[in-house]
Amino acid sequence: MLRLLIHSLAKEFYQQHAGFFLVGIYILFGVVEPSQLIGYQKALLLAGISSPYGMMVVFVSWLLYTIKVHFFIKQRLELVKYNFIKEIGGLKKNVQLKLWLKLYFVILLPIFIYVLLLIGLSFQHHLFTSVISIIAVFSALTSSLVWFTYQSVTFSFLNQKKKQLSIGIKIRKPFFSWPLFYLFNGQPLMLFMCKVLSLAFFKSMLWMFADVGNDIRILLIALLASVLCHAVLMFTLLKFETEYLNFGKGLPISIWKRLRNWILVFGIILVPEWILLITASHYDLYSIGNGFLFGLAGLFFLLTILYVVKLNMDNYLKWLLFFFFIVMWAILANYYLSFSLILLASCKIYYLIMFDKTDLKVGGI
Amino acid sequence: MLKLTNINKKYGNLEVLNFSEWEIQTGIHWLKGGNGTGKSTLFRIISGQIPFKGEVELNGISLTKEPIKFRSKTSFAEAEPQYPLFITGNELVKFYIEARKAEKKQAEELAHYFEMESFLKNKIGSYSSGMLKKLSLICAFIGNPDLYVLDEPLITIDIASADKLYKLIQEKILQGKGILLSSHQEVSKDKLRLDTVFQIVDKQIVKI
């Protein structure tokens, strides 16, 4: 049973957060020379355990990760395709708790590795309070996840229907905005976490390269991190379009209008990032223009990959990796403007040609 | 009216349809057959929803060459319609009115006809499967297409609504339209005068 849970829930979690892990790996391993890597890692870990402020940063990041995991699992358990998991509710309490603990151990593995490293380093530097805090916080987070999942699987019949929040104002919803309303209504936590991570990564990149000074490339690397944080969001949006807006394919709507709708959606989704970009660029129009172009091209490319791989997550990840390296090269080599233009034009051409030739909907022979 | 030539449709390695020619004129045409025979696939091809090999023409308008014009002349109601749950029935109907450049009055009359007026202000997420089906039928009859493609229009709707649908289909036939429908259930011959009955046998469309 554990194998099935790992193959379904854990695998899907790692797949859906590939963009996030990619940026994380880059921050942890990709920003320094290989010869300085161990020293850099040690310095990062020490910064995390040697002061209450550092510990707080570490614990808050773990908490965010845990919240993300919790809502991911919660959402999956609400889906019809995961109804089989409700069978677990018939097992004995301790068997269930052990099962969930093992699953969360797999999902929390990236944190667990750092827990071990931090504990080892704390012992080395006689920081025993840090050891206790690390163990206590990590245990509390894991136990909470296990307990909440146990409760929701075993007592799912007690769940009350969510009350719809209504403020009595009727907002007109033009067709192009339906994917956005879907995010706000159907996936608010995913949207929130995506934005928090995106903005955090954007800021982290700026801080990391603060010594470089005013360089447009830093802004674009920060935007790249933000774009990659939207990998799952883009997957969700296209999935929504495929499942719920498929009827629109039979209507006389021009391909240009459909294309314009996507660009509008990208532009609105990235509003928080645009604000950060504008302020971080010190209102330099060239940087802002390049940032806008790059951000739109980046999200459009994610959409295009999803079309190419027909919503296959495994293949999507491979493309993300490829995208990350190519973009980093283009930015660092100062080819960002031509790269963004070529990317945007290629994605546009692909969409115009392939929209009618691609069937993303599965089933229903 | 509708002409399909050299049609080939595969899902991966699974070939679902493969025939050289199929043509229908105005009138009511019933496509019968069990699950998995390719009825929905054929309907989705005709409505321009999925890619395929071959040519589909409606009154000389080619789907591949003039997709927008073609789509404005056909209307498709899916067997199991899916719409965003957070929008209201009214919002969906308005979208269809805009897309099909139809009159608001026509949509209001259809909503009244299918006794859905009072539900259209509610979010689609609150609809029963029968209401959802009726909403999809209202949307399908908005505008003035030449061909109506109705995939399993009778499932989940009550007998009274089915009778109303039969009447509406007869009205459209008097206006010179074409109706292509599929159904697992036997279509009542007292209520609907079928012009032809087809079946998909071994990837081919056969007239019965």
Preferred mutation among A245, A246, A249, A251 to probe B, highest tally of B CBs within 10 A? A251
Q: Which CATH architecture has domain B2-88+145-207?
A: 3-Layer(aba) Sandwich (3.40)
**Is A176 at the interface with chain B, CB within 8 A?**
no
Query: What is the structure's pLDDT at A153?
Result: 83
With an 8 Å Cβ cutoff, are B81 and A248 in contact? Answer: no
| A181 shares contact with chain B (CB less than 8 Å) | yes
| From B50, B71, B86, residue closest to A251, measured CB to CB | B71
CA distance linking residue A153 with residue A116, whole number of Å: 30
pLDDT at A92: 84
- Residue A64: pLDDT band by 50, 70, 90 thresholds? confident
Structural domain spans, chain B: 2-88+145-207
CB contact under 8 A, B51 and A357: yes
Band (A364; pLDDT cuts 50, 70, 90): low
- Structure tokens belonging to residue B188: 């009542």
* A34/A227 Cα distance (integer angstroms): 26
Q: What are phi and psi of A310, to 5 degrees?
A: 50, 50
pLDDT in tens, A293-323: 999 999 999 999 999 998 888 788 888 888 9
What is the 8-class DSSP label of residue B88? B
* pLDDT greater than 60 at residue A160: no
| CB-nearest partner of B83 from A181, A244, A250 | A244
Segment B139-168, tens digit of pLDDT: 999 999 999 999 999 888 998 999 999 999
**Interface membership of A285 toward B (CB under 8 Å):** no
Query: Dihedral angle at the C-alpha atoms of A33, A38, A44, A50, nearest 10 degrees?
Result: -150
A271 near B CB under 8 A: no
**Predicted confidence band of residue A363 (pLDDT cuts 50, 70, 90):** low
Contact B164, B133 (CB under 8 A): no
Q: CB contact, 8 Å: B78 with chain A?
A: yes
pLDDT category at B22 given cuts 50, 70, 90 is very high
Instruction: Tell whether the model's pLDDT for residue A206 goes beyond 80.
Output: yes
Q: Is A78 on the interface with B (CB under 8 A)?
A: no
**Alpha-helix runs per DSSP H in A155-177:** none
- Half-sphere exposure (CA, 13 Å, Cβ side) for A84? 7
pTM for this predicted structure: 0.78
Answer yes or no: do B82 and A182 touch at CB < 8 A. no
Residues of A within 8 A of B86 (CB-CB) are 181-182, 185-186
What does the block give as tokens for A188?
């608010």
Q: Does A246 touch chain B (CB under 8 A)?
A: yes
Minimum distance, in Å, between the CA of residue A222 and any CA atom of chain B? 34
The ipTM assigned to this model is 0.88
